[in-house]
Chain A
């Protein structure tokens, strides 16, 4: 298929999904009402539906890109923020700052969450270095165990302070609470996704491994630190504003890799669009399945994502690391 055809088809699908996301919800908004200038309809559209759809596009693309960057840097296809403890660590940090410094302004809280997310990622990398057996499957398994431990600590603390519901809201992504004024921070993640695109070639070179990257003159440590920092901040912002979007950063880059490879300069835009599209689809599904009630996006993503993850694990040839 020629590239322009793929671009046109993708744009059409995205346009349909966006229109569906704007129109579908518990309150009916019809084109006729909007044309007639119905104030209530316009309010629903501008205060709820458009911000929600924007949030979906931003969070979806940024988390998929974060997953891709992490896979390059860790050199394993099956890692992403939710399978190595990054998301859980961000949640733990947010919980602690909520208990210890509830008055801290939101950017400060996100900073703390990002610091915890980064620490969680580094802890994972340290564990990875300490454990000698390294089959491709062991790596995400280790990560999920670590994520489980961090999650358990967070749950215990939340239980003691009666914050289980709050923690649950962070860990399970949900766009139903997004209204105008509650999603603007997500633009930070969009900016970081652009930064990732600017750095795309550096991440591709880093994906060749430390030795080859160094031989090509890449400041490996710097790129590693910047990349993991970027992933941590994106994860923290998304956890705060939307909540966890499990497996998103795993499914989209893997499918993109099969279709167009891992040269990030070429792949990253597709991963961003794919991430936005998948979240949009899952969110619209969540709104339609038991209308007028909603199934949170985190649940839908968890089901869809874990199934695709299983498929990818099973088709991975043994012995080869990743690819």
Chain B
């Protein structure tokens, strides 16, 4: 379980995450939605101990992430950041193998190879394994990074906008991968998403943030709703039920 206790994070004088408390149970897919600047990515970074919080703390199964040794945490929690441009020239295989670093520290064992193979297959990167990342499209690179996080074999997986750079087919494939990670591998997945409809169709829980606070949380049937979305986005958004799924119509 991920427990966020009264976390506040400021950049200078701007409060980006404002006294947030949150409990995310084990298992399933949780989507974090909200307008630009709501503090979604910042909150995710604090949970992943990539940013220190000014106050409050984050517990992972009861242990404070800021006090857990980095290597131990890296075996329990994997995170994909939004910005993953690379200055180094690596092949897809190289990158995914680095996902095993918390276990192998560079000395790759047959067990590591098996995890890398599985992650490569899971993200459908078989044909691209030996290509360099700088030769790939943005979407392919994004999948390679997710494969790295999957190879890390952590119970908790945090993904910050994994649909960036993906066309609709690959976006759907990515959400399917996320869903299967939760259903088949028993991972606890938290994804930051921009598109509320992906959140509506693929997640078990939705956490909606606004101005650094959690405005509302609950299952898609409760959160994807005209009244709720008005509170989160300050906008009138029609919600319709299509084939049993709630869909926000924000295109016109």
Contact = CB atoms under 8 A, between A and B. Distances in A.
A257 B87 CA distance: 11
Contacts of B98: 204-205, 208, 216
Nearest to A217: B74
Nearest to A74: B87
B101 interface: yes
Q: Give the most central of A71, A216, A258: most B CB within 10 Å.
A: A216
B106 A265 contact: yes
B50 interface: yes
Contacts of B84: 212
Contacts of A263: 90-91, 94
A197 to B, nearest CB: 11
Interface stretch (B21-29, B75-83, B182-190, B217-225): B75-83
Interface residues of A, number: 31
B73 interface: yes
Contacts of A71: 87
A323 B106 contact: no
Overall SS of chain A's interface? loop
Contact of B87 (A200, A202, A207, A216): A207
Interface string B99-116: 101100110000000000
B87 A218 contact: no
Nearest to A206: B88
B87 A76 contact: yes
Contacts of A204: 88, 90, 94, 98
B49 A214 contact: yes
B87 A215 contact: no
Contacts of B90: 204, 261-263
B134 interface: yes
A71 B98 CA distance: 18
B70 A219 contact: yes
A207 B85 contact: no
Contacts, number: 84
A322 interface: yes
Interface in B119-167: 132, 134, 152
Given A216-B98, A322-B87, A261 B132 contact: yes
B71 interface: yes
Interface string B46-71: 00111000000000000000000011
Interface in A204-238: 204-205, 207-209, 211-212, 214-219
Contacts of B168: none
B88 A215 contact: no
A72 interface: yes
Contacts of A109: none
A320 interface: yes
Nearest to A260: B89
Given A202-B106, A261-B90, A217 B70 contact: yes
B242 interface: no
B91 A216 contact: no
B143 to A, nearest CB: 16
Contacts of A320: 85, 134
19 contacts: A71-B87, A72-B88, A209-B87, A211-B50, A211-B79, A214-B49, A215-B81, A216-B101, A216-B102, A216-B152, A217-B70, A217-B73, A257-B89, A258-B89, A261-B91, A262-B89, A320-B85, A321-B87, A323-B86
10 tightest CB-CB pairs across the interface, nearest first? A217-B74, A201-B106, A322-B87, A217-B71, A262-B88, A75-B87, A207-B88, A217-B102, A262-B89, A323-B134
Given A216-B98, A323-B87, A323-B89, 14 more contacts: A71-B87, A75-B88, A76-B87, A204-B90, A204-B98, A205-B98, A211-B45, A211-B50, A212-B84, A219-B70, A261-B91, A263-B90, A265-B106, A322-B87
